[in-house]
Structure 1
C-alpha cells in the first residue's frame, strides 16, 4: 500500500516538470522568432533599392533629409523613413469632361488628355498635397478660360493653338509644384444636338456650293477647250488655204514660165527655119492652111457669118504676112 501511495505521489511532480520544460521551450521559440522578425524588419528599413527613373524622399525624424536616386541605399532604421515615392517618367492624366461656353455663347463638352512629368521630387512632395489632382483641376479651369475667348468654329479649326495656350498656362502655374506640363490634347468636343444639326446643314450647303462651282468650272473649261479647238481648226484651215493658193500661184507662174519658154523656143526654131532654104514657102503654106482652117471653124459654130471683103484674095493676105516676116527677118539681121 505504501509503495502504491509513493507511486501516486511521484506522478504529479513528473508532470509539472514536463510542463515547465515545454513552457521554457515555447518562450525560447517566441523570443527567437521575434528576434528574427526584428532583424528582417531592420534590414528592410535599412536597405532600400530605388528603381530606374524613380526618386524616394527620405525624412529623418519627420523632417526632409535627402532624395534617393536609382540604385542601392542604406538608411538608419526607425530614424529614416521613405515618405514619398515619385516616378520621373512621363505620366498621362485623363482630364474629365467639362462644360465650356464659347465666345458666341454656345455650350460644349470637352474631354482632354494631359501629359506631365516630375522634374523636382522635393517640390512635388512638399509643394502641393496631390499634384496630379491639382494639375487636372487647373487644366479644366484653364480650358474653360481659353474656350471662352474662342468662337465655336475656331474651336475646331484652331485646336492645336488652343492646346498650346493651355500648355503654356499650366506649365507656368505648375512650376512651384516641381512638375512640367509637356502636352495637352483635346480628345473630344461634344456639341448640343441643335448646334450639330445646324453645322451639318451648313457643311452640306458648303459641299453643294463647292460641287456647283466645280461643275461650272468644268463646263467653262470645256467651252474654252472647244472654242480653242475651233479657233485652232480655223487657223489651220486658213493656213492650209493660204498654202494652197501659194502653191497654185507658184504652179501657174511655173506654167506661164514654161509656156513662155516653150513659145520662145518655138519662135526661135521658126525663125531659124525661115532662114533656111524653102523656109518662106513653108511659112506661106502654113499660114494659108491655118487661115482656111479657122475660117471653116467659124462657119461651123455660127448660123450667120460675115464674110470679109478680102476673102477672095487669100493669096494676097498670105503674101502680106510673108512680106512682114521677111521685113522682120531683115531687121534682125
Structure 2
C-alpha cells in the first residue's frame, strides 16, 4: 500500500515538474508540441502540457566567444603561416539558430577558417602583420553575410597569432639583422659625410674671411697711398704756387735764372772732378766767375 502511494506521489511530482519551466535571463527556449515548433519562451516561468509539450532547444542569447583553431595558410608570396583567431557571435533569433543550421558554432569556425585562408592568400607575409585590422573586417563581413540565415550575428573577429614556419623565421631574422647593419652603415656614412661637409664649410668660411681681410687690407693700403699722393701733390702744388708767386715779383725771373746757373755750375764741377779729363776750355773754367759777376751786377741794379 505504501509503495503504491509513494509511486503515485512521485508520479504526481514528476507531472508537476513537467508542467512548469523556468527560463533564465541569459537564454531563450524553443518549445515544441507533438514535434512541431510551438513558440519561443522568453525568460520567466512558463506552463507546459505534460507529455505534449517539450523543450527542444535552449539558445544562449549572450555574446559568445568561439576559439578558431590553428590553420595553415599560404600567402600571395607562397609562404606558409599558421593563423588562429577568436570569433565573437550572438544569437539574434533563437528560432533560426535552432532550425536554420545544425551547429552554428561549428559552422562559424569552419567559415572563419575558409575566409581566413582566402584573405591571407591575397597579401604577402609582410602585410599579414600590418593588415590585421583589414583582414578582421573582411572576415567579419563575410561571416555576417553567411550567418544571417542562421539568426546569428558575428560581432567581431580577432586574429590571435600569425606564426610563420621556422625556416621563414630564421630568414626573417637574418633579413632584419642585415637591415639593421644597413641602417648602421647608412647612419655612419651620413655622419662622416656631414663631418666632411662641416669641415669643408669651415675651411671655405675661413678662406672667405681671409680673402675679405686681404681685400680690406689692400683697400686700406691703396687708400693710404692715394691719400699720401694727394697730400704730396697738394704740397708740390703749393710749393710751385709759392715759386710762381715769387717769380712774378720784380727781379724774380732773373733770380730763377741765377739759381739755375748756379746749380748748373755746381753739377758741372762735379762732373769735371769725377771725369778723367785733363784739358778743358778756358771759358768753362771762368764760367762760374762770369755768372757770379752777373749776379752781383743784378743785385746792384735791383736792390731789395
Q: TM-score, normalised by structure 1?
A: 0.60
In the alignment, is residue 241 of structure 1 matched against residue 208 of structure 2? no
- The answer as to whether partners of 2:112 and 2:139 remain within 8 angstroms in 1 is yes
Aligned to 1:76: 47
In the alignment, is residue 259 of structure 1 matched against residue 232 of structure 2? yes
CA shift for structure 1 position 174: 1.7
**Alpha carbons of 1:247 and 1:161: their partners in 2 closer, same or farther (altered >3 Å)?**
same
Match of 1:87 among 61, 66, 71: 61
- SS for the counterpart of 1:75 is strand
Root-mean-square deviation (CA, aligned residues, Å) is 4.7
The structure in which a higher percent of residues are helix is 1
- The answer as to whether partners of 2:30 and 2:94 remain within 8 angstroms in 1 is no
Counterpart-to-counterpart distance in 1, 2:117 and 2:225: 94
- The answer as to whether partners of 1:60 and 1:81 remain within 8 angstroms in 2 is yes
Match of 2:28 among 41, 56, 61: 56
In the alignment, is residue 313 of structure 1 matched against residue 291 of structure 2? no
- SS for the counterpart of 2:85 is strand
In the alignment, is residue 212 of structure 1 matched against residue 185 of structure 2? yes
5+ long unaligned stretches in structure 2: 299-304
- The answer as to whether partners of 2:23 and 2:41 remain within 8 angstroms in 1 is no
**Alpha carbons of 1:217 and 1:197: their partners in 2 closer, same or farther (altered >3 Å)?**
same
In the alignment, is residue 172 of structure 1 matched against residue 172 of structure 2? no
CA shift for structure 1 position 73: 5.3
CA shift for structure 1 position 175: 1.8
- The answer as to whether partners of 1:88 and 1:119 remain within 8 angstroms in 2 is no
Counterpart-to-counterpart distance in 2, 1:236 and 1:126: 94
CA shift for structure 1 position 41: 8.6
- The answer as to whether partners of 2:59 and 2:91 remain within 8 angstroms in 1 is no
Instruction: Tell which has more relative contact order, 1 or 2 (C-alpha 8 A, sep 6+).
Output: 2
- SS for the counterpart of 2:71 is strand
CA shift for structure 1 position 266: 4.4
1:253-332 aligned within 5 A: 253-269=226-242, 305=274, 313=288, 316=291
Deviations 1:229-250, CA, capped at 9 Å, x for gaps: 3333333332332233223222
Q: How many pairs are equivalent?
A: 271
**Alpha carbons of 1:249 and 1:119: their partners in 2 closer, same or farther (altered >3 Å)?**
farther
Aligned to 2:111: 138
Counterpart-to-counterpart distance in 2, 1:123 and 1:66: 11
Match of 2:223 among 238, 250, 253: 250
Counterpart-to-counterpart distance in 2, 1:178 and 1:267: 127
**Alpha carbons of 1:261 and 1:64: their partners in 2 closer, same or farther (altered >3 Å)?**
farther
CA shift for structure 1 position 82: 8.9
Deviations 1:176-206, CA, capped at 9 Å, x for gaps: 1222333323222223322322222222222
- The answer as to whether partners of 1:118 and 1:124 remain within 8 angstroms in 2 is yes
Counterpart-to-counterpart distance in 2, 1:151 and 1:218: 35
CA shift for structure 1 position 251: 2.5
Aligned to 2:156: 183
Counterpart-to-counterpart distance in 2, 1:254 and 1:119: 107
5+ long unaligned stretches in structure 1: 1-22, 324-333
Aligned to 2:39: 65
**Alpha carbons of 1:118 and 1:316: their partners in 2 closer, same or farther (altered >3 Å)?**
farther
